[in-house]
Amino acid sequence: MFKPTLIEFDEKRSKMIRNHVFLPLILTAILITGCLSDGPQDDSAVIASVGNHELTVEAALNQIPDIALRQDTLQAIETFKNQWLNSRITEKEARRLQLQNNEAFRQRLQRMEDQLLEEMLQEYILAKHESDLNVSRDEAQNYYQANRDKFVLDERYLRFRHITTNTRTEVDNARRDIMRGVSWEDVVNSYSVNPELQLRESTQFWPYSMAAADIPMLNRYLGVIGISEISPVHSHGGNYHFVQLLEVRNEGDNPDFDWLIPQIQQWLKLERSQRITNAYKRNLYLQAQSNNEISRLTDDETRTALHDYVTNLESN
């Protein structure tokens, strides 16, 4: 059964970012450092160094995701700095062993370069057709009306508020302010550890199975509290939390068009992107074929070549 996907996973929690985002950023930075020459002068303080390589405050801030910096700037820099040091040390050892001269290294680097070039070509193609990718609200609405029977919720969907604070006093004050009628925007801006994210998340509908799923107790609260009811305070991960249920869409219902608009527009844009990219690549293939640049075995010839290869391996 079709299920609309309405959650922005890329900014789910800073813990995920610390564990899974910094290291790939560091490895990518190491790979491209040697390719960069000219650029603005960086006069900020050096916060770490290994041999001739230095990490400055500016360089760290430019590579750390904004959400991690908003959560805890010093901690984000410390985490990035430590991983940068470890990466530089291991890179230095790999170069001492001259692993960059290894044939396996060159092959893997070539595969990475080929993949990057493919991705950049796709970006180039889509940039050339940017105006063709725009999807209007009317187009999204027409798609929704034509496929309305496919947009059926196969589980309960919820819209709710979730606030996370650093201290028990802050969470109690936030709960009290909501009950006094203070606006949700003012509450999150006053007490939340990540107001922008939690304000945005409160406007979305979530499948119950994924609603506050990283904190199981909050998920259970959302299954039992009523509309407008606020859950008890729950301590988790060194912070304090509560949720307030706002709206419910039951299993079998048709979701409101308004909260499907961005998703439908994204689907249609992706569909157009694939169609444009595939057409471009198909033309490249046909052009190469007409220029006699392509040579390929038939299926039977490929099967024979594979059989001969395996036979040779077994006989050696």
Nearest to 47 by CA among 76, 90, 15, 25: 76
For all residues of the chain together, what is the average pLDDT? 85
Of 101, 123, 138, the last residue of a domain is 101
> Which residues fall within 8 angstroms of residue 236, CB to CB, at 6 or more apart?
215, 217, 218
Does residue 294 lie within any of the structural domains? no
Does residue 307 lie within any of the structural domains? no
Residues 247-306: pLDDT tens digits?
998 887 777 777 778 888 888 998 999 999 999 999 999 999 999 999 989 999 999 999
Q: Say which CATH number the domain at 239 has.
A: 3.10.50.40
Task: Tell me the average pLDDT across 26-54.
Answer: 69
Residues 62/48, Cβ–Cβ less than 8 Å: no
Q: How confident is the model at residue 38 (pLDDT cuts 50, 70, 90)?
A: low
Looking at the predicted structure, is the pLDDT value of residue 124 above 90? yes
Q: Would you state the pLDDT for residue 276?
A: 95
CA distances from 309 to 6, 207, 304, 315 (A): 49, 51, 9, 10
Does residue 316 lie within any of the structural domains? no
Nearest to 189 by CA among 172, 204, 203, 170: 170
Same domain, 92 and 166: no
- What gap in Å lies between CA 13 and CA 241, rounded to an integer? 14
Of 249, 277, 293, the last residue of a domain is 249
- What gap in Å lies between CA 288 and CA 218, rounded to an integer? 58
- What gap in Å lies between CA 28 and CA 175, rounded to an integer? 43
Q: How confident is the model at residue 19 (pLDDT cuts 50, 70, 90)?
A: very low
Residues 180-218: pLDDT tens digits?
999 999 999 999 999 999 999 999 888 898 899 889 999
Which tokens is 261 given? 């608009």
Q: How confident is the model at residue 43 (pLDDT cuts 50, 70, 90)?
A: confident
Q: Would you state the pLDDT for residue 72?
A: 83
Looking at the predicted structure, is the pLDDT value of residue 56 above 50? yes
Torsion of CA 282, 283, 286, 287, to 10 degrees: -150
Does residue 280 lie within any of the structural domains? no
Of 249, 268, 286, the last residue of a domain is 249
Does residue 219 lie within any of the structural domains? yes
Distance of CA 71 to the CA centre of its chain: 17
Does residue 112 lie within any of the structural domains? no
- What gap in Å lies between CA 178 and CA 187, rounded to an integer? 7
> Which residues fall within 8 angstroms of residue 274, CB to CB, at 6 or more apart?
none
- What gap in Å lies between CA 70 and CA 220, rounded to an integer? 29
Residues 237-258: pLDDT tens digits?
899 999 999 999 888 777 777 7
SS3 1: coil
Residues 175/28, Cβ–Cβ less than 8 Å: no
> Which residues fall within 8 angstroms of residue 305, CB to CB, at 6 or more apart?
297
- What gap in Å lies between CA 87 and CA 48, rounded to an integer? 12
Q: Are strands 53-56 and 239-249 parallel, antiparallel or unpaired?
A: unpaired
In the chain, the number of structural domains is 2
Does residue 37 lie within any of the structural domains? yes
Residues 152/254, Cβ–Cβ less than 8 Å: yes
pTM for the full model?
Answer: 0.53
Torsion of CA 128, 271, 197, 156, to 10 degrees: 170
Give me the phi and psi of 153, to 5 degrees please: -70, 130
Task: Tell me the average pLDDT across 78-107.
Answer: 92
Percentage helix, strand, coil for the chain under 3-state DSSP, each rounded to 5: 60, 10, 30
Task: Tell me the average pLDDT across 101-116.
Answer: 92
Same domain, 94 and 164: no
Residue bearing the bigger pLDDT, 2 or 135: 135
Q: In terms of residue numbers, what domain contains 62? A: 9-101
Does residue 158 lie within any of the structural domains? yes
- What gap in Å lies between CA 177 and CA 190, rounded to an integer? 10
Percentage of residues of the chain with pLDDT beyond 90: 58
First-last CA distance in the chain: 53
Q: Would you state the pLDDT for residue 39?
A: 57
